[in-house]
Amino acid sequence: MPRYADIVLPLAQPAYTFAVPEGMAVTEGQAVAVQFGAHKFYTGIVWRVHDRRPDFPRIKSIQRILYDTPLLSAAQRALWEWMASYYLCSPGEVMRVALPALMKPSGDTEEEFSEEEFRPRTEPYVSLARALCDETAFHEACERLERRAPKQYAALLEIASAGDGTRIATGEIAQRLLRAESAVLRTLERKGLILRAEHERTVERGGSAFRLPELTPMQRRALDSLRGQFAAGKETALLQGITGSGKTEIYIHLIGEVLSRGGDVLLLVPEIALTAQLIERMERIFGSRVTAYHSKLTNRRRTETYLRLSRSEGGEFVVGARSSLFLPLKHLQLIVVDEEHDASYKQTDPAPRYNARDCAVVMARLTGGHTLLGSATPSVETWSNAASGKYGRAELTERYGTARPPVIYVSDTLRAARRGERHGHFNKLLLDKIDETLRRGGQVMLFQNRRGFSPYVECTECGWTARCPNCNVTLTYHKGGRRLVCHYCGHTEEVPAKCPSCRVTDVVPRGFGTEKIEEEISRIFPEAQVARLDRDSVTSEKAFNAIIADFAARRTDILVGTQMITKGFDFEGVSLVGILNADNLLNNPDFRAAERAFQLMTQVSGRAGRRDDGGEVVIQTGDPGNPVIRQVAAGDYEGMVRMQLAERRAFFYPPYARLTSLLLRHRDPTTLRDGITALAARLRERFGRRVLGPMTPPVDRIRGEYLAGLLLKIESGASSARARELLLAELKTFSENPAYRAITVVVDVDPQ
């Protein structure tokens, strides 16, 4: 009977059906080469094999099978399906993020395609000849060599002991053992004592006896409690622990247990560039078992890792960014999501617009494993899931060792200005503390929520500001090079010499950013070494590492930075943290602004006094009575979360509602307005008051296209599957309407 396969292609399209040629054995999850359209060849994933002939006339056949093992397990396919349905995208769009680029070649001809198919690099390996696996034969060979050829003898022993009958890399013994290696090995091979062969690189597996850190009584209680809750059937648990309390130590214990029984572990971290320290720490305990996976690796490395894992027998430990969720870990038993509240777990563009933390919970359920969400400041959603008992929960309320939480001072900028105690962007209190810290030989971190020297330039005469020609935003002023830059589209221009509007005066910088802070502080403390960490100073991973290394080695005294300095760093010398302007964190029209501000300020504060006593934090604000500022100063996470929950209940936001945002784009504002008005009307017929908008986003024109949005708020208890179905049907009707076909609609489920 002829057989067919539904195949997922890396496109925003449903699966397509192809014929399976006679004699080809395809299984689900396998990668295959197919021809699609007249000239295009793609890698596709076999989704389903069946015998129902689709009713279109010409059915193309699968060209051939790629790779010797299936690339996707059943659980992975289930995850892709869940994502496609939940985030309203196609499995093909999931495929685009899930598989490394080299693994899914495409081409215009079959020959081109074949050339591009990925072959992992091989390396020369040696092993004992099979005859020598017999002990008597081995001893005879040794005796013969011992006196006459001591180098060959030594090499043979080394191969036997290091390899334990298995293969080892020639490069490695060459380095460890002999200088004359290749000649010696050639002779041994000629004598038939060893075999040489080319193999893919393999990872050396250490034993499973890891040296785990001794836990404090509080940590021990948290670990036991988590174990107990997992054993009692909780699939997901929250580990809430203040910065420096030892959450990582608890992860390490749980990870060690899973690895010892041969299971796989995934540790997700928000931004891998910022977590090199964490990887090192894991390597000190788990050695070569640790596999890092993130976008900074070369395509080849990522592809090799994927293929290696797809053939692994278990006991793998991957530390990675959000896309490592898609790796083929077939024995996945534990996913740890560190800093689970971090917004960078959400991919906002392109589709799939998924949150890796939420997908991790789903994936662990699919594999029968557990998810541990760790944070000092959990997201409101996760906290309420733990409070309601849906998730398990454990807490760490003390810092490890002698380290105490920092003392936080709230410094009123308006009052300081009135008293003449403000210099540039610094209150006297903060300057005094910096002075004191530097005298003691301590280090300082200064946090400023904006990069660039100054957000914009303005004419003092007529009020003209420089705006982007493609986007409805002001251009940001960068002092280095006196350039104006659009942060949305990258447009760059020179600062005009005269105001282009009134031609009367020069334009002047307004507002301030990290560059300005760096300049001011260098002037006030000329003897201090000052460095800056933001997206402009970090032009490469190397530049980033250099800035970090200088600060860690105390070659730098003061580090000025954006969000980039808030995450994951563990610098012993930092005893003072300054937050220059808390207000621009709070004055954000987003419903998560207060939560985010609390998380960010707490996170930055946590950088102070990681080791010794006496870490200090100064928060500058024009609104010292603001409840969020007070909650940060008091370390009152629970006060913050209860207040936010009350507000969200009142205004119907997550976790009480599920949000889906629709963003429409078109070059012509009239077409866009007509389209969105029509769509809003249709959706209101279905969803009633749950539809908000049309509304104009804060930036309503990007890259020459106008933007308008709608927001759908569905009760958390309601069937989200039914809501998705209705929404999809309406979107389909909309996109098929000739008047609106050219309007781009971007659907974002659970927008951040």
Residues 502-521 interacting with Zn ion (rule: CB under 5 A):
502
DSSP character string of 325-366:
GGS--TTEEEEEEETTT-GGGB--SSS---BHHHHHHHHHHH
Residue 611: CB minimum distance to ligand ADP, A:
8
* Stretch of 18-26, 157-165, 166-174, 243-251 lying at the interface with ligand ADP (CB under 6 A): 243-251
Please tell me whether residue 247 binds ligand ADP under the rule CB under 6 A. yes
Query: Which residue's CB is nearer to ligand ADP, number 230 or number 400?
Result: 400
Q: Residues with Cβ < 8 Å from 295, sequence gap 6 or more?
A: 272, 321, 323
* Stretch of 142-150, 241-249, 406-414, 485-493 lying at the interface with ligand ADP (CB under 6 A): 241-249
> What whole-number distance in Å separates Cα of residue 664 and Cα of residue 693?
12
Please tell me whether residue 488 binds Zn ion under the rule CB under 5 A. yes
DSSP character string of 153-192:
HHHHHHHHHHHTTS-EEHHHHHHHT-SSHHHHHHHHHHTT
Residues 266-325 interacting with Zn ion (rule: CB under 5 A):
none
Residue 241, contacted partner among Zn ion, ligand ADP, none, CB below 5-8 A by kind: ligand ADP
Among 93, 249, 358, 748, binds ligand ADP (CB under 6 A): 249
Instruction: Tell me which amino acid residue 711 is.
Output: L
Structure token pair of residue 261:
């029984």
Q: What is the largest CA-CA distance in the chain?
A: 98
Angle between helices 637-651 and 627-634 (to 10 degrees): 150
> What whole-number distance in Å separates Cα of residue 437 and Cα of residue 296?
36
Residues 554-583 interacting with ligand ADP (rule: CB under 6 A):
570
Residue 601: CB minimum distance to ligand ADP, A:
16
Residue 274, contacted partner among Zn ion, ligand ADP, none, CB below 5-8 A by kind: none
Residue 247, contacted partner among Zn ion, ligand ADP, none, CB below 5-8 A by kind: ligand ADP
Please tell me whether residue 243 binds ligand ADP under the rule CB under 6 A. yes
CB contact at 8 A, 413 and 620: yes
Identify the CA nearest to 445 among candidates 374, 369, 520, 551.
551
Identify the CA nearest to 341 among candidates 553, 154, 118, 598.
598
Q: What binding mask, one character per residue, do residues 650-689 give for ligand ADP by CB under 6 A, x or -?
A: ----------------------------------------
Q: Residues with Cβ < 8 Å from 481, sequence gap 6 or more?
A: none
Residue 213, contacted partner among Zn ion, ligand ADP, none, CB below 5-8 A by kind: ligand ADP
> What whole-number distance in Å separates Cα of residue 646 and Cα of residue 252?
36
> What whole-number distance in Å separates Cα of residue 409 and Cα of residue 429?
9
Residue 248, contacted partner among ligand ADP, Zn ion, none, CB below 5-8 A by kind: ligand ADP
> What whole-number distance in Å separates Cα of residue 84 and Cα of residue 79?
9
Residues 193-232 interacting with ligand ADP (rule: CB under 6 A):
213-216, 219
Query: Which residue's CB is nearer to ligand ADP, number 244 or number 578?
Result: 244
Q: Residues with Cβ < 8 Å from 390, sequence gap 6 or more?
A: 236
Residue 225: CB minimum distance to ligand ADP, A:
16
Query: Which residue's CB is nearer to ligand ADP, number 249 or number 412?
Result: 249
Please tell me whether residue 246 binds ligand ADP under the rule CB under 6 A. yes
Q: What binding mask, one character per residue, do residues 398-437 give for ligand ADP by CB under 6 A, x or -?
A: --x-------------------------------------
Query: Which residue's CB is nearer to ligand ADP, number 274 or number 434?
Result: 274
Identify the CA nearest to 198 among candidates 131, 130, 126.
126
Residues 432-471 interacting with Zn ion (rule: CB under 5 A):
459, 461-462, 464, 468, 470-471
* Helix %, strand %, coil % of the chain (to 5): 40, 25, 40
Query: Which residue's CB is nearer to ligand ADP, number 251 or number 740?
Result: 251
Instruction: Tell me which amino acid residue 619 is.
Output: I
Among 241, 256, 320, 442, binds ligand ADP (CB under 6 A): 241
Residue numbers at the binding site for ligand ADP (CB under 6 A): 213-216, 219, 241, 243-249, 400, 570
Residue numbers at the binding site for Zn ion (CB under 5 A): 459, 461-462, 464, 468, 470-471, 486, 488-489, 491, 499, 501-502
